[in-house]
Amino acid sequence: MNLSSLAAPLNTRIWRLTSLLILGFASGLPLALTGQALQAWLTTAGLSVAAIGIFSLVTQPYAYKFIWAPLMDRFEPPLLGRRRGWLVMMQLLLALIIFLMSQLDPVANTLEFSLMAVAVAFLSSSQDIVIDAYRTDIAPKEERGLSASLGVFGYRIGMIVSGGISFILADAWGWGAVYRLMAMVMVGLAVFSIFTPLIPDDEKQPQRQRDFGRFVLMATAAGLGFYMVRWLLVQWVFPAPDSLGMLRPVMLGLIPLAGALLASVSMGNALKFEAREDVNGFIYMLFGVLIGYYIGDALAQWLNPWMTVQFTEAGLAVAFVPKWVSLAETLIILTFALPGAYWGARLARFQLLLTPLRHYFDRDAAWLFLWLIIFYKLGDAFAGNLTTTFLLKGVQFSQTEVGLVNKMFGMFATIGGALLGGALMLRLGLFRSLVLFGLLQAASNLGFWVLAEYGKDAWGHFTLATGSVTQVLTGSQASGADVVVDWLLLFVVCFENITGGMGTAAFVALLMGLSSSGHSLVHYALLSAFATLGRIYVGPISGVLSETIGWPHFFIFATVMAIPGLWLLIHMKTRIRQLAD
């Protein structure tokens, strides 16, 4: 009797929905560990602001997870099946890496610490790939809205634990102890995942299980090949930092990757591995990304003087010109790097990715749906990227008040919004829910405009006793001071988070509908990656724009940016209703 047969009796509706809730929690827990909690740890450790800014790049795997999603669909770990096997493996590895992070001093071991943070982001995004596909495969069509809202509910609870409660615990225990606690929680989640319900009609394929071991050997060979070639280049070929000038980073990127490909090909041939082209196709994609990056970077550097003149002649203040030029350079690089991944896949005939992509783009209005995914929450992305900065610097609220209202109350409001959105979707359907929730999301940005115009105490305030809560959570007898809470701040944050939770529930249901059951893992990873583009890459635009036009006009602009998504919704009314049928 194996683990799968032990879990089989648990395939009931209640257990299925409970599992989706807990898996949502597992998805949300690691996010703050590479975001707000990580920044707080680095700040208290004494790292410079510039160094902390560089650490923000560790979240990039969330935007590119669709690149390795096909490999997780192709190979099947032993014992638990394809979805649950990968899920348990990712969670155990997350627990291990988070624990190792907790043992490091971010100042004394900055390089090792940063590599661990990248590993957490990679494993967390990989866990998300599996959870999203699992939810899509196991949820009946009539339960998609409810499944999505439960997933968001659990996700937000996970973020409250790692991005809210952890701050309180860190004051008493220190961040190392908090991360060790999070590692133990991940172990518990891995044990839970063993007993999640089986996916109906998910037939085991012994060949995928046999190929998994060979895949691990090829991946190990590729990693060792990359590391050894890069070490030789740094130690013996290009030891001087100024050798080759601008070509040095290019050589240190492309040549080790060629070494990884050679090692992978050699191992695959030695094993007579039929699926070796799938692994090599992934490495070719990395080649494409790097080549696209270097081409974009060279073009951006060449255009730098011309862009500086153009922005200056456009009437921008001198202080803002370098920021807009830097933003333009980033967009130019992305313009070449992302297509580079696709052309690398085509060159290698990476069918694991190309076949699901063709299957998706054979759909009627496939490109329109992609634009809808990007634009639906774009207004929220513009405003949300700078909410904390606006409240602290723009309106001058205290860190305690912002943390309590924006993080704790806001998270619970999001959970309520997600549950309310899921319930309303059962009555309204997908299309009407997307329109209504999209309108409410756009209106919520105007609340921050009101705060920008009228400031603190426009509606008065009240005092909230919080000292006893801190004592209970930390076990410390030292009581904290009570917090003064602004009524307008509380209303604006709660309204924004409730409507955001409703919109997210409908949005996840849309992604589930667009993900075909045959290629759900790759489809959902691709679509959710497009959804994160706004959140990740709108940030630099938001920062420069808010400084240029001021906070009130910025939030008006964020509201206007919701209009394209709503227009697309109306335009695609018939197609979205067909999707939900």
Per-residue pLDDT tens digits for 541-565: 776 677 778 888 888 988 898 888 8
At 462 the three-state DSSP class reads strand
Q: How much is the pLDDT for 477?
A: 44
- pLDDT tens profile 365-397: 778 888 888 888 778 777 776 676 677 777 877
- pLDDT tens profile 432-489: 888 999 999 889 989 899 998 888 888 887 776 655 555 444 444 444 556 677 889 8
Q: How much is the pLDDT for 26?
A: 92
Please state the separation of Cα 377 from the chain's center in Å. Answer: 14
489 token code pair? 């701040």
Residue closest to 542 by CA, chosen among 220, 327, 341, 253: 327
Task: Give the chain's largest Cα–Cα span.
Answer: 74
Contacts of 87 (CB under 8 A, 6+ apart): 23, 127, 130, 131, 134, 193, 196
- pLDDT band of residue 1 (cuts 50, 70, 90) is very low
At 483 the three-state DSSP class reads strand
pTM of the model: 0.67
Q: Write out the DSSP string of 175-221.
A: HHHHHHHHHHHHHHHHHHHHTSPPPTT----HHHHHHHHHHHHHHHH
Residue closest to 86 by CA, chosen among 131, 120, 138: 131
Residues 310-339, mean pLDDT to the nearest whole number: 74
Residue closest to 513 by CA, chosen among 132, 6, 161: 132
Kindly tell me the burial class for residue 140, based on how many C-beta atoms sit within 10 Å of its own C-beta (0-12, 13-18, 19 or more).
exposed
User: What one-letter code names the amino acid at 574?
Assistant: T
Q: Which of 77-86, 341-350, 364-373 has the highest mean pLDDT?
A: 364-373
Q: How much is the pLDDT for 6?
A: 46
Q: Which domains does the chain have, with CATH numbers?
A: 1-198 (1.20.1250.20), 363-456+496-581 (1.20.1250.20)
Kindly tell me the burial class for residue 432, based on how many C-beta atoms sit within 10 Å of its own C-beta (0-12, 13-18, 19 or more).
middle
Q: How much is the pLDDT for 469?
A: 52
Q: How much is the pLDDT for 449?
A: 92
Please state, rounded to an integer, the average pLDDT across all residues of the chain. Answer: 77
Residues 339-349, mean pLDDT to the nearest whole number: 78
Q: Are 394 and 551 in contact (CB under 8 A)?
A: yes
**What distance in Å separates the CA atoms of residue 109 and residue 117, rounded to the nearest whole number?**
12
Q: Which residue has the tokens 């829910």?
A: 433
- pLDDT band of residue 50 (cuts 50, 70, 90) is very low
**What distance in Å separates the CA atoms of residue 132 and residue 137, rounded to the nearest whole number?**
9
Q: How much is the pLDDT for 110?
A: 76
Q: Which residues of 350-381 are buried (b: 16+ CB within 10 A; e: fewer)?
A: bbbbbebbeebeeeeeeeebbebbbbbbbbbb
Q: How much is the pLDDT for 478?
A: 46
What value does the CA radius of gyration of the chain take, rounded to a whole number of Å? 24
pLDDT higher than threshold 70 for residue 316: no
Q: How much is the pLDDT for 407?
A: 67
- pLDDT band of residue 123 (cuts 50, 70, 90) is very high
**Other C-beta atoms lying within 10 Å of the C-beta of residue 319:** 9
Q: Answer with the residue of higher pLDDT: 260 or 319.
A: 260
Q: How much is the pLDDT for 482?
A: 63
Q: Answer with the residue of higher pLDDT: 516 or 336.
A: 336
Q: How much is the pLDDT for 472?
A: 43
- pLDDT band of residue 516 (cuts 50, 70, 90) is low
Q: How much is the pLDDT for 17?
A: 82
Q: Are 357 and 290 in contact (CB under 8 A)?
A: no
Q: Answer with the residue of higher pLDDT: 399 or 1.
A: 399
Q: Are 539 and 389 in contact (CB under 8 A)?
A: no
